[in-house]
Amino acid sequence: MTLAELEELKAASLKEIAAAADAAAIEALRVKYVGRNGSIPALIKGMKDVPQAERPAFGKAIQAWKAEVEAAIRERGTGNRESGIGDREELDLTKPGRWMALGSKHPLTRVIEETARIFGRLGFTVVEGPELENRFNNFTALNTPPHHPSQDRTDTFWFNDDCLLRTQTSPVQIRTMMANKPPVRVICPGRTFRRDTTDATHSANFHQIEGLYVDTKPVSLADLKSVLAYFAKEMMGDGVTVRFRPHFFPFTEPSVEVDFTCHVCKGKGCRVCKDSGWIEVAGAGMVDPRVFQHVGYDPAQVSGYAFGFGVERIAMIKYGIPDIRWLYENDVRFLKELA
């Protein structure tokens, strides 16, 4: 190829670029002439076949062609953006920004965070643990006998004889006591699992928040009641009171069921509380001495209380949600109503 022929190719290429109709055509010409396998790189690779005496002039002409093609492509790209030609849009900082609607927190997240803030004001810290647990932490250390129904495979998700999905967040309390000397004052939020048939009030996957206070100083049921009364007022509003009813739990003695006055009818009786004026919220009690023995505490030197409640239960009461399944269906319409 002679220099004259090279000049003809250059003129033809610049004419093609000038006549390109849109951005796609410009990009196709860029690939054709200066792309990796384009005409100009091919000529550069073929310089070895050009006579030695002609190489300097020939190489200079090729580089000039390449520079003019690239400049023409850039000019077409920036000069025709208003008409839609060009592969990038220029950022106009004078234009008003787009309003991005903010989302809202899920009701379960709201309850967990609010509970952490309430008990945080009382000196409780938040601790978490694994959802995959062993038999000792989930049952044995909590004074649950082997024949207890909760250890049956029809009630609990077992992987083998010693590995299961935790049925409560109480194992976090066990781990905390085994790793720390008293005083211990913690709440343990987290997801738990049981083989429940899903309906309006039950789910195989649900959340709990459990609390534990252990000290070398005397701790009594009166301390427990005062803490839960404070929580009830902060979470449900003024006028809510707490009632204890005798119950049984393997890991507390004495044990109680905890009821709050119905926040809808203020204790007068309504459909929500089934005309009783009370809503069952939590289980609680004084930590059984045998639990202290399992974690290495001396029952003669320490005392404490524990409590636990379902996060879904609180959320359903607080926000008037009639069906627990609504919390897991990811229906944006439902979440927007609570925003």
In this structure, the answer to whether residues 67 and 119 fall within a common structural domain is: no
- Domain membership flag for residue 242: yes
In this structure, the answer to whether residues 304 and 215 fall within a common structural domain is: yes
pLDDT digits (tens, 9 = 90+) for 37-57: 888 888 888 887 778 888 888
**When comparing pLDDT for 88 and 297, which is higher?**
297
In this structure, the answer to whether residues 23 and 157 fall within a common structural domain is: no
pLDDT digits (tens, 9 = 90+) for 78-129: 655 444 444 455 677 787 777 777 778 899 999 999 999 999 999 999 999 9
Predicted local distance difference test score (pLDDT) of residue 87: 45
Cβ distance 172 to 127 under 8 Å? yes
In this structure, the answer to whether residues 78 and 120 fall within a common structural domain is: no
- Domain membership flag for residue 92: no
In this structure, the answer to whether residues 165 and 289 fall within a common structural domain is: yes
- Domain membership flag for residue 120: yes
- Domain membership flag for residue 197: yes
Query: Would you place residue 293 in the very low, low, confident or very high pLDDT band (cuts 50, 70, 90)?
Result: very high
pLDDT digits (tens, 9 = 90+) for 311-335: 998 998 888 888 888 888 888 888 7
CA angle centred on 178, ends 175 and 183, rounded to 5°: 105
- Domain membership flag for residue 119: yes
- Domain membership flag for residue 53: yes
**Phi, psi for 116 (deg, rounded to 5):** -60, -40
- Cβ-proximal residues to 249 (8 Å cutoff; 6+ apart), any chain: 255, 283, 285
Q: Is 232 left (phi over 0), alpha (psi -120 to 50) or beta?
A: alpha
pTM over 0.75: no
- Domain of 47 in residue numbering reads as 3-83
Predicted local distance difference test score (pLDDT) of residue 167: 95
Q: Is 277 left (phi over 0), alpha (psi -120 to 50) or beta?
A: left
> Which stretch of 3-7, 179-183, 226-230, 307-311 has the lowest confidence by average pLDDT?
3-7
In this structure, the answer to whether residues 221 and 325 fall within a common structural domain is: yes
In this structure, the answer to whether residues 66 and 124 fall within a common structural domain is: no
- Domain membership flag for residue 101: no
Predicted local distance difference test score (pLDDT) of residue 1: 67
Query: Would you place residue 187 in the very low, low, confident or very high pLDDT band (cuts 50, 70, 90)?
Result: very high
In this structure, the answer to whether residues 211 and 277 fall within a common structural domain is: yes
Predicted local distance difference test score (pLDDT) of residue 248: 93
Predicted local distance difference test score (pLDDT) of residue 301: 96
In this structure, the answer to whether residues 73 and 135 fall within a common structural domain is: no
In this structure, the answer to whether residues 76 and 149 fall within a common structural domain is: no
Q: Is the peptide bond before 171 cis (omega within 30 degrees of 0)?
A: no
Single out the residue in 49, 83, 117 at which a domain terminates.
83
Cβ distance 47 to 55 under 8 Å? yes
Residue for token pair 């000069």: 79
> Which stretch of 79-93, 116-130, 180-194, 257-271 has the lowest confidence by average pLDDT?
79-93
- Cβ-proximal residues to 316 (8 Å cutoff; 6+ apart), any chain: 322, 324, 327
Single out the residue in 30, 50, 83 at which a domain terminates.
83
Q: Which H, E and C letters describe the chain, residue by residue?
A: CCHHHHHHHHHHHHHHHHHCCCHHHHHHHHHHHHCCCCHHHHHHHHHHHCCHHHHHHHHHHHHHHHHHHHHHHHHHHHHCHHHCCCCCCCCCCCCCCCCCCCCCCCHHHHHHHHHHHHHHCCCCEECCCCCEEEHHHHCHHHCCCCCCHHHCCCCCCEEECCEEECCCCHHHHHHHHHHCCCCEEEEEEEEEECCCCCCCCCCCEEEEEEEEEEECCCCCHHHHHHHHHHHHHHHHCCCCCEEEEEEEECCEEEEEEEEEECCCCCCCCCCCCCCCCEEEEEEEEEECHHHHHHCCCCCCCCEEEEEEEEHHHHHHHHHCCCCHHHHHCCCHHHHHHCC
CATH number, domain of 232, equals 3.30.930.10
- Domain membership flag for residue 229: yes
**When comparing pLDDT for 103 and 198, which is higher?**
198
The structural domain count of the chain equals 2
- Nearest Cα neighbor of 54 from 18, 107, 5 is 5
- Give the Cα separation of 244 and 306 in Å (integer): 14
Q: Which amino acid is at 228?
A: L
In this structure, the answer to whether residues 221 and 323 fall within a common structural domain is: yes
- Whether 222 has a pLDDT exceeding 90, the answer reads yes
Residue for token pair 């009370």: 278
In this structure, the answer to whether residues 150 and 244 fall within a common structural domain is: yes
Predicted local distance difference test score (pLDDT) of residue 90: 66
pLDDT digits (tens, 9 = 90+) for 128-151: 999 999 999 999 999 999 999 999
